[in-house]
Structure 1
Amino acid sequence: MHITLRQLEVFSEVLKSGSTTQASVVLSLSQSAVSAALADIEGQLGVKLFDRVGKRLVINEHGRLLYPKALALLEQASEIERLFSHDSGSLKIGASSTIGNYMLPAMIAGYRLDFPETPLELNVGNTDDVINAVADFRVDLGLIEGPCRMPELITQSWLDDELVVFGAPDNPLAGKNVTLEMLAAAPWILRERGSGTREVLDHLLLSQLPDFNLVMELGNSEAIKHAVRHGIGISCLSRRVISEQLSSGSLVEIRLPLPPLVRKLYLIHHRQKHISNALSRFLTYCKELV
């Protein structure tokens, strides 16, 4: 049995119109096409759905039994069409921790005001986690803090982000003209390997401090801020992450004998990923921030 939505639509309209002639006008079909569709569905069901009374079609017990089922199926089909008429399918975003925790909440709030019909899911992890999620099609788009070297992923430069070395207000390096030797001797608290912050910091700063004093690795920027505030050591995070603490004075910036530590943030998606209207809108929204 292969009953089609078009046949159910013809049946329903004939029921409402009372004739194949009127139904053909409403459906923009020929009368012969309407009659053929009605005959086909009756043939598949093995019953007559209407009693023929002169030129009129009067619904019978079989038609009355079918009508609510047909109407429900047609309404569900219309819901499916409406669901995707504006490409409002759900959007899954993966973001590394600095972006996901400190940048995306405000971005998503603004995006939701403009596109409230698009369900959006955010998954936060370190940069390696996000890259793997994009590669496995578990998320539609990744926003990361470190470079991506997977050839199957498209990487687009997005925003500049400044890294800041910081300590507690009473740290011995606070307010000093520090040297590389002083930095190497200080106790360091760093993000774990695999995070974008750590990879960029290894390249921009720690490569110049070959014997630096690493006392702790933590997988969370908030934990690092608290550890530094309690005097365990110094660290380096995005200025966006510690801006409130720098403003309040609970943490202080340590000036480096180096140029500013600036890294790129990136947008990544799979080369074979279909760029839906919903994803295209979010990409445009991100790029408007540049």
Structure 2
Amino acid sequence: MHITLRQLEVFAEVLKSGSTTQASQMLALSQSAVSAALTDLEGQLGVQLFDRVGKRLVVNEHGRLLYPRALALLEQATEIEQLFREDNGAIRVYASSTIGNYLLPEMIGRYRRDFPDLPIELSVGNSQDAINAVADFRVDIGFIEGPCHSADIVAEPWLEDELVVFAAPDSPLLEGEVTLSRLSAQPWILREKGSGTREIVDYLLLSHLPQFRLGMELGNSEAIKHAVRHGLGISCLSRRVIAEQLESGKLVEVTVPLPGLNRTLWRIHHRQKHLSNALLRFLSYCTIS
């Protein structure tokens, strides 16, 4: 059986108008097309839905049984069309921790003010977690802090970000000139392997030190900030992450004898992912105000 929505629409209109002529005018179809659709529907069901009384069609017990169910299906189809016409589907986002905790909340807040009822699912992990989620189609879009090397993923430059070396206000490192050898002697508190921040710090900073002393690895930036503030070592994070602590004096920026520690933040999606209007609309809000 292959009943179509068009056949049900024709049946419902014929019932309301009482003739195929009136129904054809309402549906903008030829009378022969209306008659053919009704005949085909009756043939598939194996029953007549109308009694033919002269040129009139009078609904019978079969038609009365079908009518409320046909209306329900047509209403549901209209709801489905409206749902996707307005792009109301949930948007699934995966962001690395710096982006998910310090950048996206403001952007999502702006989006929600304009579209308060549209759902967004935000997951936060490290950059590799975000890449894996995009690769497996578990999310629609990802935001990461380092380059992506997967051939299946499209990575586009998104925002520029500055990394800052920082220490506690009473750190011995701040006494005198900061040299590469003195930086090498400090215990470093860093993000874990797989973190985009860690990959960039390794490349831009630690690769220039004559040696490297790892104090500890921690899974999130908040833990690193607290560890540095309590004198357990020094670290390097996005300026956006430690802006409040630098302003309050709880942490102090360390000027290092290296070129600017700047990096690109990336937006990623699967190469075979269709970027819907809803997704493109959300991405238009993902900018720095």
TM-score, length of structure 2 as denominator length: 0.94
- Separation in 1 of the partners of 2:228 and 2:202? 19
Corresponding residue number in structure 2 for 1:255: 255
Alpha-carbon offset, residue 208 of structure 1: 1.7
Q: Secondary structure at the match of 1:173?
A: helix
Corresponding residue number in structure 1 for 2:53: 53
The one-letter code of the counterpart of 1:84 is F
- 1:196-249: CA deviation from partner (whole Å, max 9, x where unpaired): 111111111111224222111001111111111222111111010111111122
Q: Which moved more, 1:264-273 or 1:62-71?
A: 264-273
Matches within 5 A, 1:75-86: 75-86=75-86
Corresponding residue number in structure 2 for 1:23: 23
Alpha-carbon offset, residue 284 of structure 1: 3.5
The one-letter code of the counterpart of 1:42 is E
8 Å Cα contact 1:189-1:217 kept in structure 2: yes
Corresponding residue number in structure 2 for 1:147: 147
RMSD: 1.8
Corresponding residue number in structure 2 for 1:214: 214
Query: How many residues are paired up?
Result: 289
- Separation in 2 of the partners of 1:34 and 1:176? 91
8 Å Cα contact 2:180-2:210 kept in structure 1: no
The one-letter code of the counterpart of 1:142 is G
Alpha-carbon offset, residue 119 of structure 1: 2.6
- Separation in 1 of the partners of 2:240 and 2:174? 20
- Separation in 2 of the partners of 1:35 and 1:212? 83
Alpha-carbon offset, residue 106 of structure 1: 0.8
- Separation in 2 of the partners of 1:95 and 1:60? 60
8 Å Cα contact 2:93-2:139 kept in structure 1: yes
8 Å Cα contact 1:177-1:255 kept in structure 2: no
The one-letter code of the counterpart of 1:256 is V
Gaps of 5+ in 1: none
- 1:107-139: CA deviation from partner (whole Å, max 9, x where unpaired): 111123334454322121111111222222222
- Separation in 2 of the partners of 1:121 and 1:40? 45
Gaps of 5+ in 2: none
- Separation in 2 of the partners of 1:148 and 1:2? 47
Q: Secondary structure at the match of 1:154?
A: strand
Matches within 5 A, 1:61-76: 61-76=61-76
* TM superposition outliers: structure 1 runs of 4+ over 6 Å: none
Corresponding residue number in structure 2 for 1:227: 227
8 Å Cα contact 1:118-1:278 kept in structure 2: no
Alpha-carbon offset, residue 44 of structure 1: 1.6
- Separation in 1 of the partners of 2:98 and 2:128? 13
- Separation in 2 of the partners of 1:208 and 1:39? 81
Alpha-carbon offset, residue 12 of structure 1: 0.6
Corresponding residue number in structure 1 for 2:190: 190
Q: Secondary structure at the match of 1:285?
A: coil
Corresponding residue number in structure 1 for 2:110: 110
- Separation in 1 of the partners of 2:175 and 2:280? 46
Matched, 1:199 2:199: yes
- Separation in 1 of the partners of 2:275 and 2:109? 22
Alpha-carbon offset, residue 183 of structure 1: 1.2
- Separation in 1 of the partners of 2:43 and 2:217? 73
Q: Secondary structure at the match of 1:264?
A: strand
- Separation in 1 of the partners of 2:200 and 2:140? 25
TM-score, length of structure 1 as denominator length: 0.93
The one-letter code of the counterpart of 1:218 is L
- Separation in 1 of the partners of 2:28 and 2:125? 54
Q: Which moved more, 1:219-228 or 1:135-144?
A: 135-144
The one-letter code of the counterpart of 2:14 is V
- Separation in 1 of the partners of 2:38 and 2:154? 52
The one-letter code of the counterpart of 2:31 is Q
Q: Which moved more, 1:196-205 or 1:147-156?
A: 147-156
- 1:174-215: CA deviation from partner (whole Å, max 9, x where unpaired): 364311121111121110111011111111111122422211
8 Å Cα contact 2:181-2:210 kept in structure 1: no
The one-letter code of the counterpart of 2:204 is L
- Separation in 2 of the partners of 1:71 and 1:175? 80
Matched, 1:40 2:4: no
